[in-house]
Structures are given as C-alpha cells and as structure tokens.
A and B are shown apart, each in its own frame.
Chain A
Amino acid sequence: MDVAETISHHILDHDWGVVLGGLRLPVTTHSVTIFTVSVLLLIGLAWAARKHTSRAGRLVTTLLEEYVSFIRSGIVLPNMGKEGRGMLPYFCTLFLFILSVNLVGMIPEMKTATSNISVTAALALCSGALIVFSGLKYHGFVGFLKGFVPSGTPAWLVPLLFPLEVVSLIIKTCVLAIRLFANMLSGHMVLICLLLIIFIVGEMSKAAGAGALIPAMGLELFMTCLELLVAFLQAYVFTLLTAIFAGSVIHTH
C-alpha cells in the first residue's frame, strides 16, 4: 500500500455493501457515524433539556441554556434580527452537529464524516434551503426575486445583475460545503502524513525512523491541537455564514 492509498484508506468513506432488493443502501462508515452522532445528540440533549433536581443535572441544563444563548445572541439575532428567532433550533442543531461530527473524527479509529463532500454538501443544501425559505417567508416569491437586485439599480443593468446575484447565492452555499470539507480533510491529511514520515524514514533506516519519531510526534500533537481548534472554528464559521446569508436575504438592500 503506497502513501496515497494509505491516506485514501484513512480518509475516504467505506461502503458497507448493504443491498436491499437489488438496491444499494447508503450504509457507509460516514453515514453510520452521522447516524450514531445524531442519536447520541438526540438522547443527550433531550435528557439535558429535562428538568433536573440533582446539582449535576441542573449544571448540564444551565450549560445547554448558555449554549442556546450563545447561538441566539452571538450568531442569529445580530445577523438575522428578530426574524431569526423562529430558526434558532436549526442553528443550534447545525453548530452542535458539525462540531460533534468534527470532534468524533478526532477519536482514534473513528472517521471524520465532515471530510466527505457528500456530507458537507448535504449540510450546505439544508442551509441553502433555509436561506431561500427565509427569503420566501419574509418577502414572498416576487419580493424574494426582487431582493437579488439592489434598489436604485438602472433598468438596463438588471438583466446582468440578477443572474450574477443568483449565481452568487448558489456559489456562497457551495462554498460553505467546500470550506468545511477542505478544512477537515486537509487537517486529517496532514496528521496522517506526519505519522507516515516515521514509517517512510524507518523504511530507509531504522535508526533514522526512531530519530524521526519524537519530532514527528511533536508535530502530530501540535496538529491535533490545531485540528481541535479547527473543529470548533469550522462549525462556528458554517453556522455564522448561514446566518449571515439568511440575514442578507431577509434584510435586502
């Protein structure tokens, strides 16, 4: 197995080959990871949201309330205004879901589902749908379309500007998916490459491989810390940008 294959093996999704009635089911490592994370989140958060009498339970509920306050006051309300209140559950779920999937990928033997373009595309699709839904909800179909053209634009410029703005919205949504995918993928690639340094050097000379062990592990540790930061950062960026785009559709020019 060469380096490229090793990296692919650790990063790419693996189909479990479940077929039902001749139809291939999308049961893959990443989809199972996502499902597991979703179930754990659902159970954990539903438990945390209950009224607790124990001190630890109340602490968990308080933490959950702080989290909701953070999403509401830090992301949703500043970018979407009071119109965003109804969409708060979406943003709360989005941030925690991406963060959990990112962090699960940090656990040895687990896979980072957000390094799969299909997963990030699905999330971006949901966010894109939310953005379009926001526009339609607050402006109606015609108002939503009108929102693509800034007020005061000369009539002759509208046919040029309108497609540009529509494409811009689509690109923005696609970039959400690509950004998350690329960040999570590259981080894990770097981690694997750093580990592979030891084995590549070790194949040349066992002593050199042993010598490369400590610097490579130091770099690995540094990159792992960086990946932890990136896991939080990318979840925040994805959620924040979704709120900003939705806000720009609600509060048009």
Chain B
Amino acid sequence: MENLLKPDYGVLLLTVCNFLLLVYLLKKFAWGPVINALEKREQQIESDKQTAANARQSAEELKKELDDRLAQISTEAAQKIAAAVKVGETQKEQLLAQAQEQADRLVAQAKAQIEAEKNKALADVRSEIASISVLAASRVIGQDLKDANADKIVAQVLQEVQQK
C-alpha cells in the first residue's frame, strides 16, 4: 500500500509526452476543424442577425414613409372629395335655379300664349256673334243695314252688354 504515493517518473514522463502529443494531434485533426466551423457559423449567424436587423430597420423606415404617404393621400382625398361635393352642390343649385327659371319662363310664355289665344277666340266669337246678330236683326226689320251703321250699332250693343 505504501506504493500508492510513490511516483513512477517513467510513467509520469510518458503521460506528459502522451498527453501533450494528444493535445497537439487533436488540435490538428479534431478541435481545429470543429472550432473553425463553429466560429465560422457564429460569424455567419452574427452577420445574418445584423442583416436581419438592417432589413428590419429599412422595413420600419419604409413602413413609416408609407404610413406618412397614406396619411397625406387620405388628407388630399378628403380635401378633394370635399371640394367635389362643394362644386357639385353649387352646380346642383345652379341647375335647379336654371330649371326653375326656365320653367317659370315656359309657364309665363304658355300663359301669355293662352291669354292671347283666349282673347283671339273671344274676339272671334264676338265678331261672329255680331255678324249673326246683325243678320238676325236685318231679318227682323226686313232691311239691310249698312255696314257702317251695323258696326256702330253692334259696338253700342256690346258696350251695353259689357256694362250690364
């Protein structure tokens, strides 16, 4: 049991050489490639993260720009709609006024025409009645009334009728 703590320098030296050689060989054939691959991948991930962050920032800027433009377009559209509505209202009122005016003119024209037609018809009726009356009167009295006298008499009779 006393040999437990008794160092074997040969084994010690061999272990040191063995271990250092193992470190060297593993560095060359195992750890080196793995560490390189790992660092390369980490760099790639870091680069991708940076790219993603840049893309995100660009997207946010673009979104902000688009939002601003959208807000601007909305404002412009609202202004244009309001202007169009106003123009429409004005045109509507103008059209209504024109239509009213035209309608009034047509009504007045129609009334005047009707009045003229009525007066003309009345004049015709009067003339006809007068002729018939003269004819009837001449038949009654058995003589021809001279036109001048007849007109005078008719005018007088009409005046009396109108006065009644």
Contact = CB atoms under 8 A, between A and B. Distances in A.
B16 interface: yes
A63 to B, nearest CB: 11
B9 A45 contact: no
SS class of chain B's interface: helix, strand, loop or mixed? helix
Contacts, number: 120
A4 B1 contact: yes
B5 A117 contact: yes
Contacts of A41: 22, 26
A92 B30 CA distance: 10
Given A68-B35, A93-B23, A93-B26, A121 B10 contact: no
Nearest to A96: B26
Contacts of B1: 4, 7-8
A13 B3 CA distance: 9
A69 interface: yes
Contact of A38 (B3, B6, B18, B33): B18
A69 B29 CA distance: 17
A24 B10 contact: yes
Contacts of A30: 11
A65 B11 contact: no
A34 B10 contact: no
Contact of B31 (A24, A92, A116): A92
Contact of A49 (B9, B20, B29): B29
B23 to A, nearest CB: 5
A26 interface: yes
Interface residues of B, number: 33
A116 B19 contact: no
Given A46-B29, A49-B29, A65-B37, A126 B3 contact: no
Contacts of B10: 24-26, 31
A155 to B, nearest CB: 39
B7 to A, nearest CB: 5
A42 to B, nearest CB: 6
Interface in A21-70: 24-26, 28, 30-31, 34-35, 38, 41-42, 45-46, 48-50, 61, 64-65, 68-69
B141 interface: no
Interface centre among A30, A31, A50, A97 (most CB of B within 10 A): A31
A26 B13 CA distance: 9
Contacts of B5: 117
Contacts of B15: 31, 34, 118-119, 122-123
Interface string B19-47: 11111011101111111011000000000
B4 A11 contact: yes
A185 B26 contact: no
Nearest to A28: B11
B19 A28 contact: no
B82 interface: no
A14 to B, nearest CB: 11
15 contacts: A11-B4, A31-B18, A34-B18, A46-B30, A65-B34, A65-B37, A92-B26, A93-B27, A116-B8, A117-B5, A118-B11, A122-B12, A122-B14, A122-B19, A126-B20
Q: Nearest 10 pairs between A and B by C-beta?
A: A26-B10, A122-B15, A45-B30, A89-B27, A46-B29, A89-B31, A118-B11, A49-B30, A118-B12, A118-B8
Interface of B: 1, 3-16, 18-23, 25-27, 29-35, 37-38
Given A46-B25, A69-B38, 18 more contacts: A8-B4, A26-B11, A30-B11, A42-B25, A45-B31, A48-B30, A49-B31, A49-B34, A68-B35, A72-B35, A88-B35, A89-B32, A90-B23, A93-B26, A118-B12, A122-B11, A122-B15, A185-B4
